[in-house]
Amino acid sequence: MGKAKANAGPLARRPDNSAFKQQRLPAWSPMLTAQTVLPFFYGMAIVCVLLGVWLLVTVQNTHELKVDYTHAGSCDKCFEKRKDRANANQSCNCTVVFNIENTFKGDVFFYYGLINFHQNLRQYMDSRDDGQMIGRNKNLKNPSYYCEPFIKDKNGLPIAPCGAVANSMFNDSFTLMYHSAAGSRVVPLFRKGITWYTDKNVKFRNPQVENKTLTLAQVFEGTGQPLYWQKPVYDLDPWDRNNNGFINEDLIVWMREAAFPNFKKLYGVLNRAIEPFTDGLPAGNYSVLISYNFPVEYFQGRKEVVLSTVSWFGGQNNFLPVAYLVTGCLILLLAVILTAVWWKFGKNGRNMKE
Amino acid sequence: RANDRELNLSYKYSVSTGVDYSFQTNVYMMCVCVYVVCMLYMFSCVYDNAIKTSKYNIFTFLPLNLFEQFQRLANAYFLFLLCLQSIPEVSSLPWYTTVVPLVLVLSMTMAKDGSDDMVSSTSTNYSIKTALFLILLSSSSRETNLKVKQALTVTGKLEDSVEKLANFNGEVRCEPPNNRLDKFTGTLTLKGETYSLDNERILLRGCTLRNTQWCFGLVIFGGPDTKLMQNCGRTTFKRTSIDRLMNVLVLSIFGFLMIMCLILAIGNGIWEYQEGSKFAAFLPKGVNAPFSAFLTFWSYVIILNTVVPISLYVSVEIIRLGNSFYINWDRKMYYPKNDTPAEARTTTLNEELGQIKYIFSDKTGTLTQNVMTFNKCSINGKAYGEKTEKVDFSWNNLADPKFCFHDNSLVEVVREGNPEVQAFFRLLSLCHTVMPEEKKEGELYYQAQSPDEGALVTAARNFGFVFRSRTPESITVVEMGELVTYELLAVLDFNNVRKRMSVIVRSPEGKLTLYCKGADTIIFERLNPSCSNLTEFAGEGLRTLALAYKDIDPEYMEDWKLRHHVANTAMDEREEKLDALYEEIEKGLLLLGSTAVEDKLQDGVPQTIEQLSKADIKIWVLTGDKQETAENIGYSCNMLREEMNEVFIVSKDMEIELLRTACMCQTVICCRVTPLQKAQVVELVKKYKQAVTLAIGDGANDVSMIKAAHIGVGISGQEGMQAVLSSDYSFAQFRYLQRLLLVHGRWSYLRMCKFLRYFFYKNFTFTFVHFWYGFFCGFSAQTVFDEWFITLFNLVYTALPVLSLSLFDQDVNDWWSFQYPQLYTPGQLNQYFSKRAFVYTVLHSGYSSLVLFFIPWAAMYDTVRDDGKEIVDYQSFALLAQTCLLIAVSIQLGLDTHYWTAMNQFFLWGSLSVYFAVIFTMYSNGMFLTLTSSFPFIGTARNSLNQPNVWLTMLLTSVLCVLPVVAYRFLRILLWPTINDKVRGRGSTHLSLVRQDKVLPPTPRRVQARRTSTRRSGYAFSHAQGYGDLVTSGKFLRRTPKSRPALFSQTDSPLAQTQPQFYRTISEREEPPLSP
């Protein structure tokens, strides 16, 4: 390249003698030798097996109970009823009974689960307006085109919240009953605190208005409710006025779309302040009173109720512990094979000779 | 019009004429060039005196460049993707995923093109200074240079009178621009008379005037029309075999992409048919299943486009550029003697340097220095010059101090006054066409047409027969301190057929003598039968030249001279008639002796050739020299050894036979090859052997070969610039070739292959994960990863680590590369990157993508956070999957890296840190609140990355991705170690030693086997006709030169270095010790 240099002398064009230019940068050249690979494999095997055992023990100490109520118990009639779209406005309640054999110790979480519901379809997932849900007034009255075809209701009013995701919000409600010798009682559930902190406080906000005295209903005036909803968004939680609008926690939980077609979503957390639930859910007979609204027969889906305790490792999922155990064993096997091969062929470096 | 103008006596004066290509060009302007060369150009733009070879200007740059770039297939493809993305029904990714990479790539290419254009326009400006193609109108050539150029007599009369020149008015008609350097036809019409113009009257662009103080000229062709440019225009655009392979692969990847998209589209059709219709309550689509499948196909084309990553092409360019810079920067390929660093003139062929199978080399100036040394002589049957002490020439104050001779006895004999020896040196001082130049009293410089001549005349000079000056009619020699002037009657010039030259002189005593020197075989035929006594300098690789003389009868001479004059002025068959005359007089010669001139091999040539042949590279020497000379060199280069059998192929029209035989031979030397044939041989091998070829040469006669080969290498600084200008790489010494190939070439190839393998691995893995996810999301073209991750994966998160891998990686260092030239062979066999390697890479990515999708899927399936909240939501899963992917490919990169410099570490860890910094930034409240729709992933990083099961999943995927690879590679090294593994293994044990520089590079065993059985000799005067005509024409000495101040002093000029009569010691200046 012969760059003109300041020192125009007899060796003016001599390249610099820097380690970089001469490709002599100091470097570490690791080799895959028996001394490094074999200990590494044995080490990894031990780590994986130990992790697997530890995780397995952890997971085994959690409890989980799934009750499919799609057409279990008295829900069968509701299932039939929901087949007909015309009955959409008729309420239907049913009860499912189940039994807990061992006490669910610790915090118990109440989930509803959906099978074969594709929240992860691209068009479905895109059909929402975060700008609306963050409380922008512009978007409230003029939702993004992404919400198509759930932008305007039949009266031409903008839908709040717009889009297919919100429109299809799960709307069964549950009451968990504990039947003990002392009689039946409602299991107290916290219906708040079931969302991510960031969702509740940043991602979802009700529309901001200057006039603080306006009720939520007045704020949402001029918008229509999603087509499939029975209640408007400002009236989702009749018991807690602060849990309405876009910051309704059930709505927020629903709006966090699941990655896979089978998923469960948090419905409530056991309130352990009240006897006899201070230790968790005691063993015994339970029933769930279900307000059966959400139709699943269209898409051959199923609905379930899940009760679960968690560990530091999360819910009851045996895959990782087992996978670690299996991986650990495979690595151990591999390590033994490698050692044998090395012992036979590589130890004296015979193959490395020319 | 020029006549009206004020004549401007600057160096830079441009001629503005309307050039119409009927080649009727009026002389508008005279141009003045003072001593050196001026820049003259005809340009159709009237008031513009700059030459534009640059493609762009400021205004046209953007549109023109964009237009050019979109003509490239890859860029056009991405433009097409962009159009697809603008269709909402199809768009599976937001616009920025394509626009950001595209803009980045376009702007980088644009920057490169722009700077290239700027460089090329500045370099053009530079070359304009030496650009010249003009008719010599008049010149003051006082002495000759290597090629004689003379003005027409009619224009020569103009001399240097500005007045006359300004009034000059004529018309030139000439041939259209062409590339024949040796021919020019045209006419100059002046005042109604027509003069013919031929090559003699033309100065070509690129030539340098020597020994000419001034000349005036008229520009005929400029810029691309000059013969030099017509010659240099690269006819074919060279591409590497990796390029070609990549094109095939990219096409098959396209096919593969289409198949994947088709599968997913069909899946979508089925899904829509079976389930989608039932799901329509939640997601009304309004399209039927087949149309949905059609749209999905295009959506997946967008998503899966990462298999054909746009950044691939840019990265490849960057890597090649970087590796070219390494060549330019290499101190070990820098030749301090003429301050020439190696230069990669083409930045697109680097990896091919690691795959060379055949080298075609020129001989003179490439293998040899083209510097002749007078080594030995035999006078009257007695040989002188056996290596003894160095001769002290201090007794001779006109001696050339650089001349060395190693036999004192010869000096003694000369000083004793031995008549044979004196006649021997007298002949050497008289029989030549050398031009002397005496700047100061006693400081003689010789200008010789061939280096042999210079060597011989200088030898005579040092032995007391100093050729001092010449006129057309006389030669003045200082014979042992005595000034003697001989009358020069005739010069029987050298040519390729005659292979000898003679002079006929009359001594002061009036004796007529013919002195003749020539190739020994030729001279022997013409000797007086009574004499036959020649010591042969056999087996030493020297060129033997026989010297003979003959006294001539004055009467015969008169007659001969008359006939000579007649023949000389004959209009037809002049050559033949002259030859016959020469033949007649050069008979019955008496032998004086013989000289041995050695064209020394360049330093390190035998070692280089040995190294290269160890690397399984076949070296063919193609030379215009005759067989004996070529064989000599073959032996001294270790290419030929005694035990080898010789096969000669003489016949023509046996291409295949030639090739078959030649390829069976260890060594191939082609002699008497014309430049065109050189290229044909290269083409032959290219065509039938499918091997990568390299041609190396230094002269104009190698240009065709250099252009024909896959890679052309020019030796710079010897025989002009033509070979260098048409070459891809240039350096000053043949021995640097081994470093270019065994170190730079090998590394470039290795790096490029590693890069490609890794690049395809990471992109295929990336893409396959999307493929698997299709089966879970109803084939709806949902991406697994965050859109920003898709945008930045290739450009930010993985770009620098893989670049540092492909710029810094070395499997073994240069020392070991030299130690084991066998390391070069994998490149020749295409072992590091081939279709097979590509398939393995794809399978490997398939496995990795399975791990990277299904492990996170299973691990996250139906689980929750440690506080019971959501973790299997789409956003958390996207984050998990992309983090797993990034970590796994980063570890894979680490496994591929053999040479961990600080840069590698920095880029790898830096990129991972940047990734985490970016996701925390993009998923932050601020980004969401400002650009809500672009950053919907708010809080995902904070909520997911504090979960232990997320990290445990990442660990498991990494372990499962990496450990099988480690195990496989470990087993491979154990069971089937390649040469690389062996050398690396050895290297690591010796590493400490190497660091201390205690292990010195091996001195390659130099095989000294030289055969002594056959006589080998040659006559070096093989290049062109001598100066005989000029010497006798007398034109060049017409008047005493005007004393203009010399613009540069010759001794300081770099040209002085190349003047052949200086005897150089060859040891290269030692490099100063490397600073720590």
Q: Residue B695 above 90 pLDDT?
A: yes
Q: Residue B34 above 60 pLDDT?
A: no
Q: Which residue has the higher pLDDT, B264 or B1029?
A: B264
pLDDT at residue B597, rounded to an integer: 77
8 Å CB contact of B875 and A31: no
Residues in Cβ contact with B670 at an 8 Å cutoff, skipping those fewer than 6 apart: B620, B621, B622, B623, B677, B678, B681
Q: Grade residue B407 by pLDDT with cuts at 50, 70 and 90.
A: confident
Sign of CA dihedral B864, B868, B873, B875: negative
H/E segment holding residue B465: strand B465-470
Q: Residue A346 above 80 pLDDT?
A: no
8 Å CB contact of A263 and B872: yes
Active-site choice (B116, B160, B198, B362): B362
From the list B120, B121, B140, the residue with the least C-alpha distance to B50 is B121
Q: Grade residue B116 by pLDDT with cuts at 50, 70 and 90.
A: low
Lowest mean pLDDT among A56-60, B94-98, B390-394, B1050-1054: B1050-1054
If you average pLDDT over every residue of chain B, what do you get? 76
Tracing tokens 């130690």 back to the chain, one arrives at B819
pLDDT at residue B474, rounded to an integer: 86
Tokens of B958: 């990494």
Q: Between chain A and chain B, how many beta carbons pairs sit less than 8 Å apart?
A: 296
Q: Grade residue B539 by pLDDT with cuts at 50, 70 and 90.
A: very low
Q: Residue B229 above 70 pLDDT?
A: no
To the nearest 10°, report the CA torsion of B668, B671, B673, B677: -20
The stretch B427-442 carries a mean pLDDT of 81
Q: Residue B522 above 90 pLDDT?
A: no
Lowest mean pLDDT among B103-112, B583-592, B883-892, B949-958: B103-112
Tally of CB atoms within 10 A around B163:
9
pLDDT at residue A295, rounded to an integer: 85
8 Å CB contact of B873 and A269: no
Tracing tokens 């530890």 back to the chain, one arrives at A54
Q: Is the previous residue joined to B63 through a cis bond, with omega within 30 degrees of 0?
A: no
Q: Residue B1039 above 70 pLDDT?
A: no
pLDDT at residue B209, rounded to an integer: 66
Q: What is the β-pairing status of strands A173-180 and A284-291?
A: antiparallel
Q: Grade residue A260 by pLDDT with cuts at 50, 70 and 90.
A: very high
pLDDT at residue A322, rounded to an integer: 95
The stretch A293-310 carries a mean pLDDT of 88
Q: Residue A49 above 70 pLDDT?
A: yes
Angle between helices B419-430 and B408-416 (to 10 degrees): 100
Q: Determine contact: B334 vs chain A, CB below 8 A.
A: yes
Q: Which residue has the higher pLDDT, B558 or B534?
A: B558
A213/chain B closest Cα distance in angstroms? 25
Q: Grade residue B211 by pLDDT with cuts at 50, 70 and 90.
A: low
pLDDT at residue B1047, rounded to an integer: 33
From the list A265, A282, A290, the residue with the least C-alpha distance to A73 is A290
pLDDT at residue B192, rounded to an integer: 81
The one-letter amino acid at A104: F
Lowest mean pLDDT among B30-44, B143-157, B767-781, B1028-1042: B30-44
Lowest mean pLDDT among B76-85, B246-255, B630-639, B998-1007: B998-1007
Q: Determine contact: B306 vs chain A, CB below 8 A.
A: no
Q: Which residue has the higher pLDDT, B745 or B533?
A: B745
3-state secondary structure of B786: coil
8 Å CB contact of A25 and B285: no
From the list B753, B687, B751, the residue with the least C-alpha distance to B246 is B753
Q: Is the previous residue joined to A295 through a cis bond, with omega within 30 degrees of 0?
A: no
Structure confidence by residue, pLDDT tens digits, A168-185: 999 899 999 999 888 889
Q: Grade residue B436 by pLDDT with cuts at 50, 70 and 90.
A: confident
pLDDT at residue B785, rounded to an integer: 92
Q: Which residue has the higher pLDDT, B706 or B638?
A: B706
The stretch A316-320 carries a mean pLDDT of 90
Q: What percent of chain B has pLDDT over 90?
A: 22
Question: If you measure CA to CA, which chain B residue comes closest to A350?
Answer: B974
8 Å CB contact of B982 and A164: no
Question: If you measure CA to CA, which chain A residue comes closest to B961?
Answer: A327
B672 annotated ligand binder: yes
Lowest mean pLDDT among A7-11, B581-585, B1002-1006: B1002-1006
Q: Grade residue B922 by pLDDT with cuts at 50, 70 and 90.
A: very high
Contact status, residue B482 vs residue B417, Cβ threshold 8 Å: no
H/E segment holding residue B186: strand B186-190
Q: Residue B517 above 60 pLDDT?
A: yes
Helices (H) and strands (E) in chain A, counts: 10, 12
H/E segment holding residue A304: strand A302-309
B98 annotated ligand binder: no
Q: Grade residue B891 by pLDDT with cuts at 50, 70 and 90.
A: very high
Q: Grade residue A299 by pLDDT with cuts at 50, 70 and 90.
A: confident
Q: Residue A318 above 60 pLDDT?
A: yes
Lowest mean pLDDT among B163-177, B702-716, B848-862: B163-177
B815/chain A closest Cα distance in angstroms? 11
Question: If you measure CA to CA, which chain A residue comes closest to B335?
Answer: A14
Q: Is B949 exposed, middle or buried (0-12, 13-18, 19+ CB in 10 A)?
A: buried
Tracing tokens 């070069």 back to the chain, one arrives at B824
Q: What is the interface pTM, i.e. ipTM, of the complex?
A: 0.95
Q: Determine contact: B1073 vs chain A, CB below 8 A.
A: no
CB-closest option in B282, B330, B973 to A22: B330
Q: Residue B541 above 70 pLDDT?
A: no
8 Å CB contact of B343 and A1: yes
Residues 379-398 of chain B whose Cβ lies under 8 A from any Cβ of chain A: none
Structure confidence by residue, pLDDT tens digits, B984-1017: 877 665 443 344 343 444 444 443 433 333 333 3
- Main-chain phi, psi angles of B506, to 5 degrees: -115, 125
Annotated active-site residue B362? The verdict is yes
8 Å CB contact of A308 and B864: yes
Q: Find chain A residues with C-beta within 8 A of B871's C-beta.
A: 314
CB-closest option in B340, B870, B959 to A256: B870
Q: Find chain A residues with C-beta within 8 A of B906's C-beta.
A: none
Question: If you measure CA to CA, which chain A residue comes closest to B815?
Answer: A24
Please tell me the pTM assigned to this model.
0.81
pLDDT at residue B924, rounded to an integer: 92
B965/chain A closest Cα distance in angstroms? 11
pLDDT at residue B749, rounded to an integer: 94
The stretch B926-943 carries a mean pLDDT of 90
8 Å CB contact of A345 and B776: no
B701 annotated ligand binder: yes
pLDDT at residue B182, rounded to an integer: 65
Structure confidence by residue, pLDDT tens digits, A113-154: 999 888 888 888 888 999 999 988 888 888 888 888 888 888
Strongest mean pLDDT among B153-167, B464-478, B920-934: B920-934
B396 annotated ligand binder: no
Rounded Cα distance, B984 and B979, in Å: 8
Q: What is the DSSP string of A89-106?
A: GS--EEEEEEEE-S-EES
pLDDT at residue A65, rounded to an integer: 92
Rounded Cα distance, A329 and A307, in Å: 33
Q: What percent of chain B has pLDDT over 70?
A: 75
pLDDT at residue B645, rounded to an integer: 59
8 Å CB contact of A310 and B810: no
From the list B886, B875, B890, B896, the residue with the least C-alpha distance to B852 is B886
CB-closest option in B330, B339, B938 to A198: B938
